[in-house]
Structure 1
Amino acid sequence: MNKMGTSLPQLDNSEYAVGWIAALPHERAAAKAMLDKVHAPPRHKHSKDHNSYTLGSIDGPNGEHNVVIASLPSGRYGTTTAATAAQQMLSSFPSIKFGLMVGIGGGIPSDDHDIRLGDVVVSQPTGAFGGVRQYDFGKVTARGFEECGALNCPPEVLLNAMGELQSNHEMMGSTSIPAILEAVYQAYPAMADSRRGPAYIYQGVENDRLFCPDYIHMGGKKSCEECDCTKEIQRPERLDQEPFIHYGTIASGNKVIKDAKVRDLLAKNCLCFEMEAAGLMNQFPCLVIRGICDYCDSHKNDRWQKYAAATAAAYAKELLQATDASDIQNTPEARSVMDSREL
């Protein structure tokens, strides 16, 4: 991967096919670290496009995928901001075929899904949902509150690549995420340096603690050092640090969930919560990828955020590495898909 200071190739905006949205600064850092090549900034943007971009490419099985990484304005997050960022990106990069919403999320552990910190959740169509449901948008009826929001299904090219990855992971018993992250640490050593606080590395099983839903965080520290260990849920030991990949429905909304009882009440067979994807409902054909950084309970802290951002970004890279360039080329532009949905 070329470094930021070297002479960078300049491509036309029309040559970019993948739109990667990263809301938080550490999500953007993780995304940038995944690029095999960094490109020069765009020569021009639409007059109403206020996004900040990093351009580059990721190697695929038969060619490079040119990627646009867009960030949300600092301190302004949520569904509406994400929708605006996507619309502005398409105004400047009209050839984008689909989007990847990549970042962190809060896990919803259950008996059916042994979700741990650092694991990755990927939106996958199931039943009535296209992979994402908006839990805070709906209508009141005689039967109570009914949700109305659901993200459209990801484009077929991504679903095909997901299926390929799933089968490969089951055959091999592992993913490429550890190797991808190791290459990142070699290229950008500061990302693995924990002297200035939690880095983009695994934070240790001793710092991954899941408590009973009715047990509230104790003490004045963000860590759980003062919490009652008898209230901790005992889970099977994993043999290594490699993150698991979970496929299913992601719950999206504008609220930060910090209460385990509320988490479980809203869960409805979802795997994690996040705060941006629902803004792209009926707007932008995309896949949502979230690294798990907490359990949406009162014990929530930011220790795992950078590592979770890194594992999500590494999965996104592995997905693109498995995606055929000709399949992307044959995929309709996102703008045309959006226009057809509005008819």
Structure 2
Amino acid sequence: MPSFIALGLEGSANKLGVGIILHEDNQPAKVLANLRHTYITPPGQGFLPSDTAKHHRSWIIRLIKDAFRTANIKMKQVDCICFTKGPGIGAPLHSVALVARTLSLMYSKPLVAVNHCVGHIEMGREITGAQNPVVLYVSGGNTQVIAYSERRYRIFGETLDIAIGNCLDRFARIINISNDPSPGYNIEQEATKGTQFVDLPYTVKGMDCSFSGLLSGVEAAADELLFNPSPENAGKYTKSDLCFSLQETGFAMLVEITERAMAHVGADSVLIVGGVGCNKRLQQMMSEMCEERGAMLFATDERFCIDNGIMIAQAGLLAFKNGSICSLEDSTITQRYRTDEVFVSWRK
């Protein structure tokens, strides 16, 4: 029985991931190793590209060695080396692609360039068993509603400005919430204590969303609460209420455009992928919508929805088995690498 093993390297933002996956004929993919290390900045601060790249360079060799020890295999057993081509932040993408090229040359292994978004989708499909869902891809840098058609993942709707994850992250900085383990997770925990809904801008335009107005609105409310309080606003709402209201408003926008895409393509399931996809409230709201439509919701936990190396290994190995290999000359990165640019050779 033929088998294939892939090494996947992910570093498009502040999370560095190394994954090793095994494919055997007619068997579910087997995760041999899935390690990750996150660059965390102090509260109130974002992460700079140069500092993030330095973090990745400092940790990637250690993670690769640990991954091979965890998987209990040698590099000679690997069939291909998969790396994130994009989308993402230039400097950290470059640092990881450089390591992928170096390993390819050292061990004479073929390279496979992977679209980060497609990696999320394929890992989500593999783990959950979702066959042909409408995909909601939500992360710090991306917000897209996607459906598969004719060998492409078609984008039916997306953000017109900032991603939902970026909106959450920036608000976390405004109210000085910790970045450990992630600002979005800490907003989610804070939101569970909120009881008062604060009216915030809700912007859906057809199949697309806009989150910049939502961020400006909640920032103004936070300014009144925390920095320029007035007697008439005293006790109206809390920081927890703002986190709760931000989530409720932003997630309602996502549910609306996802449901519209489902109606358009006649889908009976939704798959949520990306770092924000771990959010339990988002999953609950989407589940309620699916239940009303007689549809199913698929989602994963933080091992697979947060950026990781195993998703790059999974998508890369699917492409490799269908003849997709990246030459050394073409093993560059593309910061704006659209999901629908990828030819999905492995799906019928």
TM-score relative to the length of structure 2:
0.31
More helix by share: 2
Higher relative contact order (CA 8 A, sep 6+): 1
Name the larger-Rg structure.
Answer: 2
